[in-house]
Structure formats: C-alpha cells, structure tokens
Chain A
Amino acid sequence: MNLRDRYWEITVGTRQIASATTTPGKRPLSAAFEVSKSLGREPNRASLKIANLSRSTRESLEQLEEPEIQIRAGYQEQGLQDTIFVGDTQDIYSAREGPDIWTMFESEDGGSSYRSARLAMTFEPGALVRTVIQTIAGAMGVGIGNTAAVASSATLENGSAVFARGLAIEGPAWRSLDTVCRSASLRWSVQNGVLQLRQQNAPAEISATLLSPSTGLVGSPARGTRDPRTGEVSVTAQALIIPGFFPGSVVVLDSTTVQGSWMVHTVRYTGSTTANDWYAELTLKEYDAA
C-alpha cells in the first residue's frame, strides 16, 4: 500500500478543474479543501479553494448557478482513491491572498435540493410505512440511495407496517422524512448526493475498513467518556485519506489503545497540496450488531 503519492481531482459542473495528472511544462495547481460529513440531518459541507486559475476560468466558474462539485482524493495507487464529497455549490468567488488569487467554493451535500423540496400530501388509511418513506424520499430532490432496501421492512415502533389512520404531511420534505423515519426507528442522512437510510444505532453497511498503523492510522485513537445522555462511548481517530470513511460505515480499529468495530459518525477531511494536511479525522461510536 503506497501512501506517499497523493491523488486529487475536482470537478465543478461538467468541468474538471484540477487533477493529479499535470500538464508537462505547467506548474500543478494548488488546492486545499475541508470536508465535514456526519450522520446528522444537516447537510455535509465542503470548503474548497484553488489557486491561480486563469481569469477566464474564474469568470466562467463564478457565473455557474449552484453547480455540482465533486472531490475525489486519496493516493495514486489504484483502489486508494475515493469520492469524498458530492454537493451543490452555493458560493463561488475569488480573492487575492498575497501573490496568489484563490477561487473559493462553498458547498453543501444535496443542500439546494432538499432545502427547497416541500410536500403537502395525504396518505390513505392503511398506507404502508415503506410506501410513505419511499414517496417522501422520492420528493427530496436527491438520489434515493438505499431507501427501497431499508424501507422494505420498515414498521412503526408498535410493529405495525401501516399508518392505520393514514398520514397527512406538509412542509419541508426533509422534516417529513425525519419524522416518519424516527417513527420507524430509522435514521437518514444525505451522503454524496444520495439518501442513506439505516436502522437506528446501526451502520449503513456491513463491510468494514481496517484501520491500523500500516493502513493509514495516524497516531493513537482516543477513547472518550461515556455520554451521560445517550450512554454512548465515542472514539476519535486520525487517518490518512483512504477509501471507506463515510458516516454510517464501519471501521475496524487495530491499535494499541483501541480495538474493535466502530461506526463512523463524523468524518472531517482536510487536504492541501501545499501543506502536510491529508487527513481524515473520525468520530467513531458503538453500534448495535445485527
């Protein structure tokens, strides 16, 4: 596993702005990014800046209307790259910092879509919980992801698979989805532009990423104290940017201080082509094994 040669690639709309593949004779572009992702209802966010784009490129980018931005990062070795962020860009602007002109991008994961999606619907008495979830998910304006698979067995907390009296929903679609999912002991988030549903306190995927000093673990993970409100224990860990870290995924820690399987709750990527930053800071929590 070669964890030395960094790889990064940024796409704004249909335009690839920078790549690890540099043009011979040209100085590679400098870029820095910070990506924060979580299992929460708030959209994941990314701040990205690229130095010294040409004037025409800057101007054409700044005229785009909330373009999708995609950040891939990792290492040159095949299989060590991952899409760490997909989202809608709210702000694009350029500013001078010293001798350089940096173009800034502020983005949210599915932000513009599900911020604006609203619903006013009545479901007939006896409506299936899974039908309601799928209908709302379809109106969110983001990819439905694993919705169909997770919702197929959804029941209310009393075990019923139907809303006996029907259901009336209104307002922001994300709020209705949140209410219905919580009623069915499910949790949702948007990851890289698609919905991710999972059982409460359970990961979204069974497969896990091994994290040890030889696979990218940096330093020693730290175990926190038990949360008095939720009873959960959390672990913080730092790793190099390798694939497999996303909220709801499972990490198997193999270190001297902490071992075992943990679910990723938050991940914060920091990367810079001109500095040492190339890290994923993870907040990990216990989860219910299936």
Chain B
Amino acid sequence: MPPRGNSLGESLTALLDDRAGQISVIVPGQVVGWDNSTETATVRPLLLDRAGAQRPEIQQCPVVFPGGAYWDIQVGETGLLLVCDEDFSAWWRTEEIAAPETRQNHAIGNAVFIGGLRASTDTRTHQTDAAILPKPDLGGEVLLGDSGATKAALHEDLLTDLNTFLGLLRTWGGTNHANWAVASAAFTAAVTPAINALTAGIGLGNYQSPSVKVED
C-alpha cells in the first residue's frame, strides 16, 4: 500500500523506509526451547518491531554450530538470528536444491540461530586466553585452550597418583640399601599399592574429565 506523502520525494522516502522496515537481516535472539531430536531451537527475537510490538517466536529454528560440532543448546542462551533471503524449508527437509516453499523474503521466520552473542551485562567470567563453553547442566563452564599450552592437560587425580609413585621411586632410589633382598621386598611393598591405584584409576575411568569426553 503506497504511503501517503505531501510530495513525490516524501512519498518515495516513506515507501523506501516502509520497504526497508520489512526486511529482516540479523536480529539478536534468545533460545526459549530446544529439541535435540531435530536439533532446532525455539528462539525469541530480542528486539521489538518498529511499531513497538514483540516479534513472533521462531519455531524449528536450525542452529549453526561452529565447525560442524554439535551439543545441546541451553534455554536462555543468546545469539543471533541470521535471516535468510528466502524460505529454506524444502532444502532443510530434503538436503536437495529446492524452490522456496513460501514467498516470504527476508522474513524473521526464515532465520537460523548462531549462539554466542551476549549482552554487556552478562556476568560470566572473562577469560583472556581460553574459549568458554557454557555448560549450566554441569554447573558451570568448560574452558578450552591456553595461549601458552602446548600439551594436553592431565587430570588432577592422575597427576596426584603419578607424583605419589614418583616420590616412592625417589625415596627408594635415594636410600643406601645394604641388603638387596630386603630392599627389593621393601620396594615391592611400597610401590605395588601405587601401581594398583593407577591401574584401578584407569580402569574405573577416574582420570577422565567430567566435562570432556571422547566418543568412539
């Protein structure tokens, strides 16, 4: 419907402004629901429309994961709704090149969600040299990486048990053993529990991180 204006210039300006207002491109959004069977979220846009009204929630909104990784999205997570030019439903359902199912162009319903955009008031601890994966289901966060790290970190329990083992070796090696048979028996008695502890720890999975798991 052409807007009313007092002059051609005003009319054109109003028309262009009206059209621009109908084009959604990128909008902040918040996850209000997650369906891991379809790997889609229900996302609420976090900006009102030009008329001051709440914008509609987007259901079955595909989620973009960095590098193709996958994890459960947390309700409350914020990010960006990236609005596609056209309705991608047919491709999304079939993985085949397809015509848009609807005539919606740059409509909020044609959005995908990219997590990670946070408000300035978000109080999560800032890390200068590590990536943070929020895992509220585990009671916190998983920090990945360190700018100075070159090797994989050891689990704290494994480090403790290895240090215990190492201490025994040092103690035994630093002793002047007059009787080899006695020394050998003492060594066996002292070290065997430590070896058993390490073996058991590995067998029970005690040295695996509760936050990082490798699946076959």
Contact = CB atoms under 8 A, between A and B. Distances in A.
A120 interface: yes
B101 A120 contact: no
State the majority secondary structure of interface residues on B: loop
A7 interface: no
Interface of A: 41-43, 115, 118, 120-122, 124-125, 156-158, 160, 163-172, 174-175, 179-180, 182-183
B101 A158 contact: yes
A172 B21 CA distance: 11
B53 interface: yes
Given A156-B101, A183-B103, A120 B54 contact: yes
B1 A166 contact: no
Interface string B123-155: 000000000000000000000000000000000
A267 to B, nearest CB: 20
B63 interface: no
Name the residue among A120, A156, A163, A183 with the largest chain B CB count within 10 angstroms: A120
Contacts of A166: 59-60, 109
Contacts, number: 78
- Sort chain B's interface into a size bin: 20 to 34
Contact of B92 (A165, A171, A182): A165
Interface of B: 1-2, 21-22, 49, 51, 53-60, 89-90, 92-93, 99, 101-104, 107-109
Contact of A171 (B49, B60, B103): B49
Given A158-B90, A168-B107, A174-B1, A183 B59 contact: no
B57 A168 contact: yes
A167 B87 CA distance: 10
B102 A170 contact: no
23 contacts: A41-B1, A42-B1, A115-B1, A120-B49, A122-B59, A157-B99, A157-B101, A158-B90, A158-B99, A165-B93, A166-B59, A166-B109, A167-B109, A168-B57, A168-B58, A168-B109, A170-B55, A171-B22, A174-B1, A179-B104, A179-B107, A180-B102, A182-B103
